[in-house]
A and B are shown apart, each in its own frame.
Chain A
């Protein structure tokens, strides 16, 4: 009765062949298409590099002014603007200015990509239950699979560099914006949709005049989550060669530099808080008109 004590495993040689087969197949796929894929992502690389250079070559006082203007535009809160100035000054004073600019560039580009991919995907998902049933488990996998696991094929395909790092960040960060776009559109009041139908709205008109505007607060909550998750990935991205605060944290771990690790880690936290508060305040302002209830 060995079946109860020993699991009926696949034979060792078969298992080895299976793994080898998969690896070989992917390697040959890489050999055949690696260059094409790299070329495909080349414009993205150029854009990221251009953006990094822009942030770094801009004199720091102007950079602080620009960031403050963005914070004000998003949040309309002087407190937040003052906080941002203090945080940036401290970061610069502690010698982390350049790394911070690298990280902000990465997060900004990653968020843009996530929005460009995620919102349309969420819209498609909201249109049919079947699409939702297919996409939801994929999103679940993207969010739960240990990020090192998908680093392997990305590394095999694209090697070490900014683009693979960016892709890894996007894989982890895109699900919330997809989910919340889908949810937001599905939550739009059916009565309002019926009214749009009754007045002869085409599906496209309904999407742009009713569904997206009413889903916007939810979509924005998704964008906020996406930004937070992208920031959480900067250290992992540093593993495959992305510059920035993450790389310093990695260095600190490898060499047991407590102070370096803490400083860069806290800089990431500070940026995260600023991004979060600004995008939350912006999201709140988006739904302000719906909250004025007649007394």
Chain B
């Protein structure tokens, strides 16, 4: 099987007329503010190294101005880095010729945008098949494939509407269908759900997870919302002032925040929804409890199971039903409550 992971290496982006000139200064520790004040250049990304695993959802999280939207645009080279590499299947996207880049964008990537960026003069179906049309695929096949994905995102019957006739959530479904219709290995989602109201956002997250369980694309998802990051991300990288300050799984970030900034961030998180029973279970104990919970479950579910059954401990069992440890009510609640040190 082809490798669909993406490797971002030593990536820097300095906006301004002579960005390259100041790379060395930045490498030697010049700060963003200093660069801006002294030379009028903006340091957007600093020494980014991320391995984006294939068939997983990699979330890149940061507040506005952290450089996250700039970073995702380097993966399909909508923005050219000042220095650095973006390697996909052995090739550096940053060094591709114009025509190779076009082919790469047409066949390997698809993007969903924060503001939907649909073509207002085209109907929903014509928007959905846009990528295929650019590839030069015959009209009939375009329409068939587009219709398939419109149904999958729940827009059956809306094919001939114009985007402006639809609500924001529906417009973004079109955006998602457009990206999926492209049938690309990489799905780039730039704050795709940020402009939607919370309920709709929840729906869209569920749709994405459901589709991902089946499609296994390499998804890069940008967000400023930690809850969204934790819900969607197999891996999360946190960006601040253009630099990655921590990356890992959601659990790792919640349990071992790298600095005060992230600690502050994770304080409000519903830990029961992030931490897995595997993380806090006692191994080596005999599985004598009368209730069992599958490995990989979240603490929330363990707590529910324990309260419902009235038991003090439960077995944690693997997918064959073999006990691999035990988890107690006390440990569960302890782990779900935010530690005082936070």
- A residues neighboring B (CB under 8 Å): 189, 191-192, 194-202, 205, 209-210, 213-214, 216, 289-294
| Contacting residue for B78 out of A198, A213, A289, A291, CB 8 A | A198
- B residues neighboring A (CB under 8 Å): 76, 78, 102-107, 109-111, 113, 115, 117-122, 130-131, 133-135, 162, 164-167, 178, 182, 188
The answer to whether residues A199 and B106 also contact, given A289-B121, A294-B164, A294-B166 and a CB cut-off of 8 A, is yes
Min C-beta distance of B206 to chain A, whole Å: 23
Q: Please, how many angstroms separate the alpha-carbon atoms of A293 and B165 in the complex?
A: 6
| A293: nearest chain-B partner, CB-CB | B164
Q: Please, how many angstroms separate the alpha-carbon atoms of A191 and B112 in the complex?
A: 11
Q: Is A197 touching B78 in the complex (CB atoms < 8 A)?
A: yes
Inside 8 A of A189's CB, which chain B residues have their CB? 117
Q: Please, how many angstroms separate the alpha-carbon atoms of A158 and B189 in the complex?
A: 62
The answer to whether residues A191 and B115 also contact, given A200-B134, A214-B121 and a CB cut-off of 8 A, is yes
| A199: nearest chain-B partner, CB-CB | B131
Q: Is B164 touching A292 in the complex (CB atoms < 8 A)?
A: yes
Inside 8 A of A213's CB, which chain B residues have their CB? 119, 121-122
Q: Is A199 touching B105 in the complex (CB atoms < 8 A)?
A: yes
- Pairs of residues from A and B, 4 with the lowest C-beta to C-beta distance, nearest first: A200-B106, A200-B105, A195-B117, A198-B111
The answer to whether residues A195 and B102 also contact, given A200-B131, A289-B164, A294-B165 and a CB cut-off of 8 A, is no
| B108: nearest chain-A partner, CB-CB | A200
Interface of B is mostly: mixed
| Contacting residue for A198 out of B76, B115, B118, CB 8 A | B76
Give me 13 other A-B pairs in contact (C-beta within 8 A), A198-B105, A294-B167 excluded: A189-B117, A192-B119, A194-B78, A194-B113, A195-B119, A198-B109, A199-B111, A200-B104, A200-B107, A214-B120, A216-B121, A289-B162, A289-B164
Q: Is A290 touching B105 in the complex (CB atoms < 8 A)?
A: no
Min C-beta distance of B218 to chain A, whole Å: 16
| B114: nearest chain-A partner, CB-CB | A191
| Contacting residue for A197 out of B105, B115, B118, B188, CB 8 A | B105
Inside 8 A of B133's CB, which chain A residues have their CB? 209
Q: Please, how many angstroms separate the alpha-carbon atoms of A201 and B111 in the complex?
A: 13
Inside 8 A of A216's CB, which chain B residues have their CB? 121
Inside 8 A of A289's CB, which chain B residues have their CB? 120-121, 162, 164
Min C-beta distance of A284 to chain B, whole Å: 14
Q: Please, how many angstroms separate the alpha-carbon atoms of A289 and B131 in the complex?
A: 22
Min C-beta distance of B120 to chain A, whole Å: 5
The answer to whether residues A195 and B111 also contact, given A201-B134, A292-B162, A292-B164 and a CB cut-off of 8 A, is yes
Min C-beta distance of B85 to chain A, whole Å: 20
| A192: nearest chain-B partner, CB-CB | B117
Inside 8 A of B105's CB, which chain A residues have their CB? 197-200
Q: Please, how many angstroms separate the alpha-carbon atoms of A289 and B127 in the complex?
A: 14
Q: Is B102 touching A202 in the complex (CB atoms < 8 A)?
A: yes
Q: Is B130 touching A199 in the complex (CB atoms < 8 A)?
A: yes
| B171: nearest chain-A partner, CB-CB | A294
Inside 8 A of B166's CB, which chain A residues have their CB? 294
| Contacting residue for A195 out of B113, B162, B165, B167, CB 8 A | B113
Q: Is B117 touching A191 in the complex (CB atoms < 8 A)?
A: yes
Q: Please, how many angstroms separate the alpha-carbon atoms of A202 and B164 in the complex?
A: 26
Q: Is B164 touching A200 in the complex (CB atoms < 8 A)?
A: no
| Contacting residue for B134 out of A199, A291, A293, CB 8 A | A199
Inside 8 A of B104's CB, which chain A residues have their CB? 200
Q: Please, how many angstroms separate the alpha-carbon atoms of A290 and B120 in the complex?
A: 6
| B166: nearest chain-A partner, CB-CB | A294
| B106: nearest chain-A partner, CB-CB | A200
Min C-beta distance of B74 to chain A, whole Å: 12
Inside 8 A of A209's CB, which chain B residues have their CB? 119, 130, 133-134
Q: Please, how many angstroms separate the alpha-carbon atoms of A196 and B117 in the complex?
A: 9
Min C-beta distance of A49 to chain B, whole Å: 39
